[in-house]
Amino acid sequence: MARKLLKAYVSKNQLMFGEKTMRKTKSIALGIALAVGTFTASGAMAATTLENVKEKGHLQCGVTTGLPGFSQPDEKGNWTGIDVDTCRAVAAAIFGDASAVEFTPLTAKERFTALQSGEIDMLSRNTTWTLTRDASLGLNFAGVNYYDGQGFLINKDIGVDDALQLDGASICIQAGTTTELNLSDYFRAKGMEFKPIVFDTSEQTVQGFSAGRCDVLTSDRSQLAALRSKLSDPSAAKILPNTISKEPLGPVVRQGDDQWFNIVKWVLSVQINAEELGVTSANADDMLKSDNPNIQRLLGTDGDMGAKLGLPDDFGHKVVKLVGNYGEMYDRNVGPDTPLGLDRGINALWTDGGIMYAPPVR
């Protein structure tokens, strides 16, 4: 346990203070972690996450403090969004009840600590899967529920059709995000220059763009449409086709509990497979009678897929019936009929020209 704490602490420092101060903080952290470790070594040996969740009676899921389409409270204070549904699907798989989940709103800075410290059971918070995070934070990414990328929203007046024409543009950015880093990487790689105008919140960024402080606004593509709709004259702005970064977003779990990692990973895979096989929340019950062996395994009418994960065998049926397949989840929260109005694009199934692909349930 001490090692785990040390790892969590050290990686935290790495994030916060950068590499230069590492050696020093590492030794301090070692001391603290050893002290804490010896102090707690006699404490309760941790049960598995699944056992803990079952005992609590609900899943504790970390989400954003409000990001349209991904996780945001609605009028009644119910959380909605694709990240939220990803959590609900896990709850449905474990309890057969999509509402057996509680949400902890987390800021970007807090999110990994909350997971490391056990405050939440899974993190589904618009989090980009990168090597550093996967390898050094004591975390595991359990899949991708949205392939995002950074894009540009421009003022039509500047007459630009492609990001390569943006040399010398003034660009509105939100401070402290990877967006900022991606932007300078991209411009440096292309040998172009830009004038950054940095704002604190996305709201301010839009206001700045709206007020003409900059010609270009950059953000994740999933948010650009929503931001555009906030402008006083949305038709005067357009989204450029370029995507300058890869942002695979997905649920995250603590490292060291493979069963739990598998559960979260396979619940998402079941949803994607369900879409591929044409199983929806509406026809999930009828599909129980299907003689397609893939569907039988998916819904648990054949085989013991659930048992292998420590779940009921019909967990797939519960997930699809209660939360829906991946396509339903997408359409409900971010699809063309929602205010975000995002086309499936690369998030379409591999069979439809996208890259959404899940390993088979067998």
Partner 1 sequence: MAESTMKPPKKALSPVKWMREHLFSTWYNALLTLAVGYLLVTSVGPLLNWLLFEANFQGQDASDCTGAGACWLFISQRLNFFIYGFYPDELQWRVDAMFLLLAIAFVPQFIERFPGRKWLGIFGMTGLPIIGYFLIPGGTFGLEVVESTKWGGLMLTLILAYIGILASLPIGILLALGRRSEMPIIRGLSVVFIEVWRAVPLITVLFMASVMLPLFLPEGVNFEKLARALIGITLWQSAYMAEVIRGGLQAIPRGQYEAADALGLGYWRKMGLVILPQALKMVIPGIVNTFISLFKDTTLVLIIGLFDVLGTVQSTVTDPAWQNVAIEGYVFVAFCFWVFCFGISRYSQNLERKLDTGHKT
**Residues of the shown chain interacting with partner 1 in the complex, contacts defined by CB under 8 A:** 1, 4-5, 8-9, 12, 32, 36, 39-40, 43-44, 46, 65-69, 72-77, 102-107, 109-110, 113-114, 116-119, 201-203, 225-226, 229-230, 232, 338-340
DSSP 236-269: GEEE-S---S-EEE--EEETT-HHHHHHHHHHHH
Nearer to partner 1, 68 or 306 (CB): 68
CB closer to partner 1 out of 13 and 245: 13
Query: Least distance in Å: CB of 185 to partner 1?
Result: 27
Least distance CB 179 / partner 1 (angstroms): 16
In the complex, least distance from residue 150 CB atom to partner 1, rounded to whole angstroms: 18
- Closest-CA residue to 240 (of 170, 165, 186, 178): 165
Torsion angles phi and psi, residue 2, rounded to 5: -60, -40
- Distance between CA atoms of 190 and 223, rounded to whole angstroms? 24
| Minimum CB distance to partner 1 smaller for 58 or for 344 | 58
Which element (helix H / strand E) includes 273? Answer: helix 258-277
Nearer to partner 1, 118 or 168 (CB): 118
Q: Residue 106 or residue 237: which is nearer to partner 1 going by CB?
A: 106
- Which residues, in sequence order, are CB contacts of 353 under 8 Å at separation 6+? none
As a whole number of angstroms, the distance between CA 297 and CA 316 comes to 9
- CA of 107: how far to CAs of 82, 112, 114, 175, 218, in Å? 18, 10, 10, 14, 20
* Minimum CB–partner distance for residue 320 and partner 1 (Å): 27
Phi then psi for 247, rounded to 5 degrees?
-130, 75
Q: How far is the CB of 43 from partner 1 (least distance, A)?
A: 5
Q: How many residues does the chain have?
A: 362
Nearest residue (CB) to partner 1, 1 versus 30: 1
- Count of Cβ atoms closer than 10 Å to residue 99 Cβ: 12
Report the nearest approach of partner 1 to the CB of residue 77 (Å).
4
